[in-house]
Amino acid sequence: MSAKAKRVGIVLAGGESSRFDGEKAFAVYQNRRFYKRIVDALSAHVDQTILVSRSDLTSYFSTEENLVIIEDVDVFAGKGPLAGIYSAMMKFPAEWYVVMAVDMPLLDSKAIESLIQFQDNTIQAVVPIVNDRIQPLAALYQHDCFPSVYSQLQAGQYRMMNFLSSVTTRYVDALELGIPIEKFSNINDDPTYQALRKED
């Protein structure tokens, strides 16, 4: 994509799944893989969706219209979510980015629409708070964040919280967003996944 898009979706699917039996991205809920649920939820709200994966998984994702699979840039490969965000921002210019972790499969199109309503060019990030927990991997980031992302990575500061303290961030409570708190469920281990499957 050569021209700057209005909004790009970033699906972070390059984690190690160390507490999960198999790869989280390919776990299934309601007959759809986790990554496909997030991609579908983003589709109506972004001009392009970028899925950031590991090299050993890239070939397993199905290619489809408006979805591009990339890996972390070499210099920051494996350095966590911030590296994935940087890699997508560097390759795909946009005004705003909707960042979603692949292990939050209950976030649907309506939830993303609610989050986007808080997009404001006077701030650099819009981050939900759910039960007093900050959710930086279900959030909006303006392209102006890019220099700060790079600076944090260069300094070896890979924590999302360190990055958020370096940009102008608006924290929005889930109640203010109007998104049920269960939509932010993080399905990152087998017991949580098995509990989710019982609801399927």
Neighbouring-strand partners of residue 126: 140, 170
Give the CATH number for residue 143: 3.90.550.10
SS3 state at 83: helix
198 is in an annotated binding site: no
13 is in an annotated binding site: yes
The answer to whether the pTM exceeds 0.75 is yes
CB hemisphere CA count around 185 (13 angstroms): 14
Q: Which tokens go with 175?
A: 């109640």
Q: Which tokens go with 196?
A: 């989710």
189 is in an annotated binding site: no
- Report pLDDT digits (tens) over 25-45: 999 999 999 999 999 999 999
> How many domains in the chain?
1
- Report pLDDT digits (tens) over 88-105: 999 999 999 999 999 999
Residue numbers of the domain that contains 153: 5-199
DSSP class per residue in 126-173: EEEEETTEE-TTEEEEEGGGHHHHHHHHHTT---HHHHHTTS-EEEEE
- Report pLDDT digits (tens) over 120-166: 999 999 999 999 999 999 999 999 999 999 999 999 999 999 999 99
Task: Share the mean pLDDT of the chain.
Answer: 91
Nearest to 185 by CA among 111, 114, 126: 111
Contact of 113 with 57, CB cutoff 8 Å: no
24 is in an annotated binding site: yes
